[in-house]
Copies of this chain bind each other. A is one copy, B any other.
C-alpha cells in the first residue's frame, strides 16, 4: 500500500497497516515528517516523490487535502498504472469530478472517507487505533472495477472500521449534516462568544464540547466548506428552521412542547452512546 501524505489520517493509516504486517511506502514532501514516519512505525519506507512511493503498489491511498489532489492523482496514476487508487477526502462529488479530469484510468478509482478526525493535526497526532469502531464511507462510480471496491473496503476493515458504500452525492449531503454543519455551528458559536472574554473564562463542559472542532485547521476546513458549498448551505438553512422551532417552543408559556423536544433529543442521543 502506498500512502500519499503523512498527516493525521495518512499517518494513522500507515501505523494501523504496519501493525498488521502490511508493507507501507509513503510520500511526504517534508523530510522531517518522513523521518518521523519511519521512527513512529507509520511507514516501512518513505520517498520524497509520489512516483517513487507508488511504484509497484497494489493500492494507493491519497491522504492530502482535496485542493492538493489533482497533480498527485495524475502522477500516481502514471507511475502505478495497475494500482487501485482511493482517497480520504471529506467531500466526494468534487473528488470524482477531479478524477475524471486528471486520473489516467479512472475506473480504478474508489472514493473513500474515513469518518474519523480530530482538531489536532499532523503526524504527531496520528495513532494506530484512529479508525477503530469508526465508519468509512466508500463512493464507487458506476464503472469502478469490481475488485477495486473490495480491495479498498478490506484495507479499512483491517484498520477496524465499518464500511458503508453509497453514491457520492448522497455522501456529500449526509456528511454536510453530521460533520460539516457541526463545524459551522462551532465556528459561529466560538466567534460569537469570543467577544466576551469574561464569559469565555467561565465556560465549562457544554461550551467546550460545542466549540472543540473550531480549533481545526482553518485552511483545510475552508477547502471542505467550499468543496461542499451547496450541501453545507442547505444544512445550515435546515438547522436554522430547527432552531426556530426551539425558539418558538421556548417563547410559548407552559413549556409542554419544549419538554417534548428535549425528551426526543435526550433519548435519541442516549441511544448513540457517549463514544463511538
Interface-located stretch among A16-24, A27-35, A70-78, A214-222 = A214-222
Nearest CB of B to A117, in Å? 6
Q: How far, in whole Å, are A214 and B204 apart by their CA atoms in the complex?
A: 15
Q: How far, in whole Å, are A210 and B255 apart by their CA atoms in the complex?
A: 24
Residues in B with CB closer than 8 Å to A174 are 196, 198-199, 202
Contact: A246 with B187, CB < 8 Å? yes
Q: How far, in whole Å, are A179 and B204 apart by their CA atoms in the complex?
A: 8
What sequence of 0s and 1s flags, for each residue 191-233 of chain A, a beta carbon within 8 Å of any chain B beta carbon?
A: 1111010111111111111111111111101100110010011
Contact of A209 among B134, B182, B245, B266 (CB under 8 A): B182
Beyond known contacts A117-B204, A215-B270: 18 more, CB 8 A cutoff:
A116-B205, A178-B193, A178-B200, A178-B207, A182-B189, A182-B206, A184-B250, A186-B206, A188-B243, A191-B264, A192-B238, A192-B239, A203-B272, A214-B268, A214-B269, A222-B255, A222-B259, A236-B246
What sequence of 0s and 1s flags, for each residue 237-250 of chain A, a beta carbon within 8 Å of any chain B beta carbon?
A: 11110110111001
**A102 part of interface (Cβ distance < 8 Å):** no
**A276 part of interface (Cβ distance < 8 Å):** yes
Q: What is the interface of chain A mostly: helix, strand, loop, or mixed? A: helix
Total contacting residues, chain A, CB less than 8 A: 85
**A183 part of interface (Cβ distance < 8 Å):** yes
Contact: B218 with A266, CB < 8 Å? yes
Q: Give 7 nearest A-B pairs by CB, closest first.
A: A218-B262, A194-B268, A190-B265, A215-B269, A182-B210, A135-B202, A182-B206
Q: How far, in whole Å, are A263 and B270 apart by their CA atoms in the complex?
A: 33
Contact of A188 among B188, B190, B215, B245 (CB under 8 A): B245
**A185 part of interface (Cβ distance < 8 Å):** yes
Q: How far, in whole Å, are A133 and B270 apart by their CA atoms in the complex?
A: 27
**A118 part of interface (Cβ distance < 8 Å):** yes
Q: How far, in whole Å, are A237 and B244 apart by their CA atoms in the complex?
A: 9
Contact: A265 with B191, CB < 8 Å? yes
Residues in B with CB closer than 8 Å to A205 are 116-118, 213, 276
**A258 part of interface (Cβ distance < 8 Å):** yes
Contact: B202 with A266, CB < 8 Å? no
**A177 part of interface (Cβ distance < 8 Å):** yes
Of the A-B pairs whose beta carbons lie under 8 Å apart in the complex, a sample of 24, sorted by A's number, is A116-B204, A119-B269, A164-B198, A174-B199, A177-B192, A178-B200, A178-B206, A179-B203, A182-B207, A185-B243, A189-B239, A189-B242, A190-B268, A191-B242, A191-B265, A192-B242, A194-B268, A209-B209, A215-B265, A221-B262, A222-B258, A226-B258, A236-B243, A239-B243
